[in-house]
Amino acid sequence: MNEKKLFDQATVDTNRRSVLKGACAGMLTTPLLSQMLAMTTTRAALAAEPQSDFKALVCLFLFGGNDSHNMLAPMEPSEFADYQTVRTNIALPEVELQPNLIFGSSNPASPQFGRRFAFHPSLPKVTDLYRSGSLAVVGNVGTLVQPLTIAQYESNQYPKPVGLFSHSSHQRNWQTAMPQSRDALSGWAGRMAEILSDTANSNPALSINYSIDGENLMLTGDQLVPFVLNRGSGARLMDGYGGNSVLDRILTRATDSITSATYANLLQQSYAQTKDRAIDGAIEYNLRVNEIELATQFPSTGLGQEFERAAKTIAAQAALGQSRQLFFIGDGNWDNHQNLLTTQQRNLEEVDDALKAFHDAVIELGCQGQVTTFLASDFARTLTSNGRGSDHAWGGNMLVMGPGAVNGGEIYGEYPITLATGGPLDIGRGRLLPTVSTDQYYGELASWFGVSGSSVEMEQILPNVRNFWDGTNQPIGFMA
């Protein structure tokens, strides 16, 4: 029978301050670890190493499709005129955009060189992070199987993502990085974690992939499954488990029986395994993370709590024996066919506050250069209005934040030279053909995370990557 490891919390050294100071700086020594983890000797040895090369990736997925041409609007007079003409009643007023004015690029070779843009009025903190170099934008990113011209797109003779413009398909395609398939069962970050886990994870109870948004495809590998965290409570141990009353003793033993049994019915097996992971994971996670306190104040929004959960888990990375961690944070209510202006304003305020708090927590933890947060979303939205909002489109703008990790203050990729109807990327109603693929976007992140660009592993993680990137240099250039 699979007896669970119940630790007495009182025996755990709870001098968490010193843990914090050492979270990313390699100052933490781990005298308690070997007493507490049932690890093989090699794994124990790994865990005892200072995790000075620690890195974390955080995906913020805006479910429903963020209208990212209002998140970042063009401000050169002619470009703004085009923006206003095409967006009509969903264009943001110039006067509201003015405070968040930014320069597109200081690099003469960039298509954004010499152009001004402005972040949405709800994003003053993001604007500051951009100006101070902690945050970058990647323009016109979308799911593609291979590079496409408009003529190729319209000819229907070239591979395209399945289910174009449908929420469920685009969400899948963003997560699997296999947009030509509706049957892909693993996500790019899951496959990456699977490759890295041998060296990056000495913890037998927890995956290095943490979803703070339920079961998640992006973080699921061929075998690896993410550990799902609750934003507030983290990982609670089942009530009554290990308790002393008659009923709790029965519950505990029955739970052990259930979670250690083998089931011919795979649905039953899967349920039992998730429960087993939940209990083992909660015991381990609580031991390492529960008493961590951060000085950084996070907003009380769901998004704020989710980023705080990620920050606390990062703070415990050395104690957890994880030199790599990936987080998935999901946020809903971005499908604004109606009430676009008011809803997006509220949504982006929450994003602004949460990103800033997370940025500050990364600094507090001494993790500059080691934590990168990137945006994802189903698609951008039609530039033209439906009267009250915008509809499903394709290529859009993404934020990448990482103090010390990201070459911030730049717009990478290609923000369209015009948003006008009939522009060079317009496939109708202001749906823009992406010019940067998710493979380039992810390839750059994976490369930073330690996967060599030209390696076969990169091709396992991103099966279409060679259609966009030969693996040399950086595919986009936004990472330091």
Partner 1 sequence: MIQARLREILFLLFISIVYIDSHAEAPGGTLAATNASFDQIMAEARAARFLQQSTFGYTKTQAEQLASRIIEVGQRAAFEQWIDGQFLLTPTLHLSTMREMLVDDGVDLDDGENHVSIYNADDYRYHAWWDIALNSPDQLTQRIAWALAQIFVVNDFDSRYRSSDPDAFGVLRYFGASYYYDTLVQGSSGSYPALLEAVSKHPVMGEFLSHVNNRKASGSRFPDENFAREIMQLFSIGIHELAPNGELLLDDSGGLIETYSNATIRTLARVFTGWHYAGESPGRNNPTWSQPMVVDPSRHDEDEKDLTDLRNGILIPAATAAEQELTLVVNMLTGHPNTAPFISRLLIQRFTMSSPPAAYVEEVADVFRATNGNFQAVVKTLLLSEHNLDNYEYQPIVSTRSGRTIGMQIFNGGTERTRLIEPVIRLTQFLKLFNASSDYTGGRIALPNLEDDIGQSPYRSPTVFNFYSPFYPGIPPLSDYVPIDVVQDTLVVPEFELVDTTTIIDSADFYREWILDALDDGNFFRLQYGGGNRVEREMNVLLDFQPWQNILDRQRMRALLDQLNIHLCGGNFTQDFLRDVYRIVRSEAESPSDYVPGTILAILESPACLVR
| Window of 276-284, 312-320, 405-413, 462-470 that interacts with partner 1 by CB under 8 A | 276-284
| Window of 31-39, 298-306, 388-396, 466-474 that interacts with partner 1 by CB under 8 A | 388-396
List the one residue from 136, 282, 289, 411 that touches partner 1 (CB under 8 A).
Answer: 282
Contact between 151 and partner 1 by CB under 8 A: the answer reads no
State in angstroms the smallest separation of the CB of 443 from partner 1: 24
Residues 6+ apart with CB under 8 A from 21: 27, 366
Residues 396-455 close enough to bind partner 1 by CB under 8 A: 421, 428-429, 431
Buried-exposed string 103-132: b where 16+ CB fall within 10 A, e elsewhere: bbbeeeebbbeebebbbbbbbebbbbbbee
Do 313 and 210 meet the contact criterion of CB atoms below 8 Å apart? yes
Give CA–CA dist 443/459, Å, rounded. Answer: 9
State in angstroms the smallest separation of the CB of 185 from partner 1: 5
Residues 299-318 close enough to bind partner 1 by CB under 8 A: none
Work out whether strand 371-377 and strand 324-331 pair parallel, antiparallel, or are unpaired. unpaired
* Nearest partner of 278 among 222, 329, 211, 325, judged by Cα: 211
State in angstroms the smallest separation of the CB of 300 from partner 1: 17
State in angstroms the smallest separation of the CB of 403 from partner 1: 30
Contact between 44 and partner 1 by CB under 8 A: the answer reads no
State in angstroms the smallest separation of the CB of 386 from partner 1: 4
Here the tokens at position 143 are 């799911």
Give CA–CA dist 36/34, Å, rounded. Answer: 5
Q: Which is nearer to partner 1, 29 or 85 (CB)?
A: 85
Contact between 89 and partner 1 by CB under 8 A: the answer reads yes
The CB-based long-range contact list for 117-121 (8 Å cut-off, 24+ gap) reads 117/72, 117/73, 117/74, 117/75, 117/411, 117/415, 118/72, 118/73, 118/75, 119/71, 119/72, 120/70, 120/71, 120/72, 120/73, 120/92, 120/344, 120/345, 120/348, 121/92, 121/96, 121/97, 121/345
Q: How many CB atoms neighbour CB 84 within 10 A? A: 15
Q: Which is nearer to partner 1, 279 or 479 (CB)?
A: 279
Here the tokens at position 276 are 């087993």
| Window of 43-51, 110-118, 346-354, 386-394 that interacts with partner 1 by CB under 8 A | 386-394
In the shown chain, the binding pattern of residues 69 to 88 toward partner 1, with x for contact by CB under 8 A and - for none, equals ----------------xx-x
Residues 92-111 close enough to bind partner 1 by CB under 8 A: none
In the shown chain, the binding pattern of residues 217 to 256 toward partner 1, with x for contact by CB under 8 A and - for none, equals ---xxxxxx-xxxx--x-xxxxxx-----xx-xxx-xxx-
Q: Which is nearer to partner 1, 215 or 459 (CB)?
A: 215
Q: Which is nearer to partner 1, 9 or 339 (CB)?
A: 339
Amino acid letter, residue 147: P
